[in-house]
Amino acid sequence: MAKKSPTAAKAKAKANAKAGDANDASAGSAKPPSPAKAKAKATSSSSSSSSSMMFLVLPVLVALVGGLYTMYGVPPAGLEHAVVAPVVNRSEPSTLAPVTVEAPSAAEPSSAASNVPEERTPSTEKEIESRRLDSGSDTKYPSLHNKYASEIVQMTTQKLLTPSPADHACPAFEILGDLTHVEHAMAKGAEQLRKENAVFLMLNGENEGVFVASWQAADGCLRELAQLAAERLGADVDVLRNGVKLMTQMGLPITSAEQLDGDAGRIAHVLLDFQIWVWPGIKVGHVFEVEGSTVTTLSMRPRVFSVEGFFDSDEAEEIMRQGIDRLERSPVDSPDAVDGYHADRTSFTAFLHDNQFTRDFRARTAKLARLPSPSFVERLQLVRYETGQFFRKHEDYFDSKHFLPKKEMAGQDYKAWAAWAASKVRELVASGANVPAAFQEGGDMFPNAEDLVTFQHSLLGAFVEDAHEVNFFKEHADLEWGKWIVDNLANKANDILSPLLRDKGYMLPHIIKAWEKRIGLPEAKYQMPKRPVSGVTHYFRWIRWVKERVQDLLDEDPSQVPEEFHPTGAAYPTYNIAFQNILVNYVLEDFSEEQLTSQFGAEWVKWLVENKESKDVLWEALKVTSDIFDFVAQAFAKRAGPKFAYDKPKFLQHFEPNRFVTVFLYLNECPEGGETVFPYSKERLVTGIERAGMAECSEGLAVPPTRLTAAMFYAQTPENFPDPASLHGGCPPARGIKYGSNSFAWNADADEGANAWDLGADLKANPSA
């Protein structure tokens, strides 16, 4: 029997949680039949939106449930931290303690923000308590409603580069040398680069790039220049066709050759279609100024910065004043929780009301992080840690809902590769190529997907050897999985790859590379086939596109957009669940049942008609067939006008709304403790930390809670994927009390994103929620 992981108990907890999934399905979640075979009808239910704002932090690593325990050790179920229950903020009395997660704050920079006044004595707990607001009253900052009628939803649209005219010949650009750190380009300076007719280009959030020769400002050709560099730097060639943009080192768009030559100093970042800016950091200790704030790089992975001058003493006390009367113990959603609470989270939290003060902070955070809109930022959240209270390690992004259909694609990809590689080896042997004996038929490294022991152990042994050389498992925040592989190899376990690829399919290309490295033949390099783009992926990208299209047309001439599709209109495109029902009804109005039946089949159309008001009906339909998306886009354009005709890309990187970057404000002086710890960082600001009940405080980077500073850290990678290395925790104060404030920022409208995850109100349907 294979050795079990210490986290095996988590699998049982995950199995117990399945009952909750069943309850969700019976509450109106539409499940479509496949076009070929009908399934049971979903319970019809309109998408309901609670009057509360709810946010949920869940572990990114999934516990395996059931089976094959005699064949291999139970895979890691995730790190030992609690699942956090939704935060509830509402005007009427609540029976559920509001859950809190560290949320970033956003606000317009003020003169006070850029010039922090002399610090005065921080407020004591007694002082703060004395400033509690009367229930439901705040004359200084009254509550605001309907953000869609405000500047909050204003958006800076992406500036994709346009191809050069057909009659304009671009120079034969040349990549000079290998990857180079940006400091070398910065040392050269713009004038020297100009003399060399060179530019230095990097991908989003990266600090290594390439010099490209033979470019002068008079040439133009920015798109061709950016695409060449991006391809050389490893960007997906197919996704590149959707468009690229250039940004300066300060995260500002470059739209002309003059800007690249002048303002950017011939150093720039290439971003792909709809990628959101990530501050590159350059190196630990690098300091730069952004919107009146001083930002210092503390860690490169995960990307963590300290921020000074972002807010002042009066604002810190105002945050505490607005939230102190609403603080409640933070519950968690966990099978191990007693009465909704868990020992892994003992702090108190509250989201502030929607008012001009919190809206200003939303705008300020958006500017600091270079986000397209203040709407990408949540309202400020106040957190309080009393002596000994903490929030153990967790991620800020969500993974409680599966927008894409769950398919074990990596296992299929492995079998396809093994079949190809076996055929290629036979071909090479027959041609007389020098194939190492171990890779020929009968050898331990001969690809055979049916061999669950010898080949798997040889393959994974090579992978682990390479992984240790580059610290792979720590870099990918998967130390427990690395240990699990090693333990099961030592235990001579059977079929280790099946559970590994089911939960950690991203490792397959790295496993294959370990095999390719050892066979040492160029002909044996494998090109992983691309999977079809999900209809859900198309849908989310289309929402981004149509939002920007509305903004661009409104900026040009508002009459180009029918009132119904303005931000204040009922049909303004959103990520809200209810918007799906609007679109499905458009489709059913525009296309007859006969037309739809010819495309999807009678039972599928019957299901769509019966579930047109059901929750998530369109997402469920798109999981089954992406073809319905074409009908949706066409029906929308019919009503919004010809300027909304959509050209569907052939290839896309998946995107879904989620938290992207967090700005955490330290509001008071905590006498001792209260650090924010990042266990996966290699950096150290403080050493020898010991905090009762939270061993991880002695691991990785610990950011001290210095009053009137902030920590900014990314929940996603520069490629805009959720980053498990962003794992962090709030250490307990050893003495005194710590007050902080989260400003969570998303890669999309934050309120709509929360609603898409079933964690927040629909502010289109209920603007005052």
Residue for token digits 């050893």? Answer: 734
| pLDDT higher than threshold 50 for residue 286 | yes
The mean pLDDT of 699-721, rounded to a whole number, is 95
Concatenate the DSSP letters of all residues of 527-566 into one string. -PPPPPPPHHHHHHHHHHHHHHHHHHHHHH-GGGS-GGGS
Give pLDDT, residue 453: 97
Whether residue 388 is found in the same domain as residue 425? no
* 664 and 734 housed in the same domain: yes
* 265 within some domain: yes
Q: Is 683 inside any structural domain? A: yes
Is residue 59 domain-resident?
no
Instruction: Tell me the pLDDT of the chain averaged across its residues.
Output: 84
| Residues 725 and 663 both lie in one domain | yes
Q: Judge if 301 and 237 occupy the same domain.
A: no
State residue 475's pLDDT score: 87
Q: Which residues contact 336 (CB under 8 A, 6 or more apart)?
A: 13, 82, 342
- 298 and 322 in a single domain? The answer is yes
Average pLDDT of 625-638?
Answer: 97
Write the CATH number for 372.
2.60.120.620
What is the rounded CA–CA span in Å between residue 628 and residue 32? Answer: 12
Domain boundary pick from 487, 513, 539 = 513
- For 639-681, how does the pLDDT look when each residue is reduced to its tens digit (9 = 90+)? 999 999 999 999 999 999 999 999 999 999 999 999 999 999 9
Q: Answer whether 0.75 is exceeded by the pTM.
A: yes
Residues 352 and 297 in one domain: yes
Same domain for 310 and 385? yes
The string of pLDDT tens digits covering residues 331-347 is 554 456 566 566 666 78
Q: Look at residues 325, 318, 320 and name the one whose alpha carbon lies nearest to residue 93.
A: 325
- My answer on whether 244 and 304 are in the same domain is no
pLDDT exceeds 80 at position 35: no
Q: List Cα–Cα distances, 627 to 291, 621, 648, in angstroms.
A: 45, 9, 11
The owner of tokens 């002042």 is: 312
The full DSSP string for 271-296 is EETTPPP-----STT-EEEETTEEEE
* Number of independent structural domains in the chain: 3
Looking at the domain assignment, is residue 608 inside a domain? Answer: no
CA 278 – CA 205 distance, rounded (Å): 5
Residue 695 shares a structural domain with residue 720: yes
Query: Do 744 and 395 touch, CB atoms closer than 8 A?
Result: no
Give the burial string for 223-248 (b: 16+ CB within 10 Å, else e): bbbbbbbbebbebbeebbebbbbbbb
Higher pLDDT, 743 or 81: 743
> What phi and psi, each to the nearest 5 degrees, are found at residue 332?
-130, 155
Tokens (6 digits) for 563: 């009132």
- What is the per-residue pLDDT for 245? 98
CATH classification of the domain holding 260: 3.10.20
Task: Answer yes or no: is pLDDT of 45 > 70.
Answer: no
Q: Kindly give the pairing relationship between strand 348-351 and strand 381-385.
A: antiparallel
Same domain flag for 384 and 453: no
Q: At CA 633, angle to CA 406 and CA 397, rounded to 5?
A: 40
3 state SS of 253 = strand
Q: Is 562 inside any structural domain?
A: no
- Helices 617-624 and 602-610 cross at an angle (nearest 10°) of 160
In a domain, 325, yes or no: yes
In a domain, 343, yes or no: yes
624-638: b or e for each residue (b if 16 or more CB lie within 10 Å)?
Answer: bbbebbebbbebbee
Q: How many whole angstroms from its chain centre is CA 241?
A: 23
The verdict on 389 and 311 lying in the same domain is: yes
Write out pLDDT tens, residues 132-167. Answer: 554 445 778 999 999 999 999 999 999 999 999 999
β-bridge pairing 198-203 and 267-272: parallel
Q: Is residue 262 part of a domain?
A: yes
What single-letter DSSP state applies at residue 17?
Answer: H
User: CA of 73: how far to CAs of 5, 408, 500, in Å?
Assistant: 6, 19, 11
Based on the fold, state whether residues 431 and 469 are members of the same structural domain: yes
Helix 628-640 crosses helix 577-590 at what angle (to 10 degrees)? 90
Q: Which of 495, 513, 531 is the last residue of a domain?
A: 513
Name the more confident of 512 and 333.
512
The domain boundary, picked from 462, 495, 513, lies at: 513
C-alpha to C-alpha distance for 621 and 356, rounded to whole angstroms: 40
Domain with 242 in it: 174-272
